[in-house]
Amino acid sequence: MDRRTFMLTGAWLATAAGGAWPLLAQAAACAEDARTFAIVDSTLECGASFARYAAHLRLPTFETGDDAGALWFTTLAPLLDDGEPPRAMPALIGFTRGSDYFVLQHLALRTGRFVEHRHEAREGLLAQPAHVAFALTPRG
């Protein structure tokens, strides 16, 4: 990522991710060393912007759709188990609903190959997360 891209995308991403953007940017910056997959729910207020950001970085982008579990088992899990050596394990970055993140988080973390970083935006003190910005990065 060049300086201009960083400056142009930094402001909206900081707002959308509520301060989690350094983790997302760091995971995306590693895209040349290892693969990085972007997962987005474009129906969220800032989801379409995140999808454009991922497209600008030329990251493979996956829409959560109606079933995050189906996305994991039909698309992401086969890509993660493609026989590449562990150092090539991709990072998963995303901007999704709390419920979709819950499913993806549990499926990804149970493989034992990821470390979790996330920020949840909540509406109200005891409310469920409105959205979650996350980076599931390979264990170092």
> For 68-124, what is each residue's pLDDT tens digit?
999 999 999 888 876 666 556 788 899 998 889 989 999 988 888 888 887 777 666
Which pTM was predicted? 0.70
Q: Is position 123 within any domain?
A: yes
Q: Is position 111 within any domain?
A: yes
Q: Is position 65 within any domain?
A: no
Element (H, E) at 27: helix 21-29
DSSP codes of every residue in 84-140: --GGGPPEEEEEE-HHHHHHHHHHHHTTT-EEEEEEEEESSTTPPEEEEEEEEEE--
- Taking every pair of C-alpha atoms in the chain, what is the biggest distance, in angstroms? 44
pLDDT of residue 8: 45
Closest CA to 68 of 42, 113, 99: 99
Q: Please give the tally of structural domains in the chain.
A: 1
Q: Is position 14 within any domain?
A: yes
Q: Is position 55 within any domain?
A: no
Closest CA to 32 of 59, 4, 7: 59
C-beta separation of 131 from 122 below 8 A: no
Residue numbers of the domain that contains 79: 3-46+72-138
pLDDT of residue 29: 58
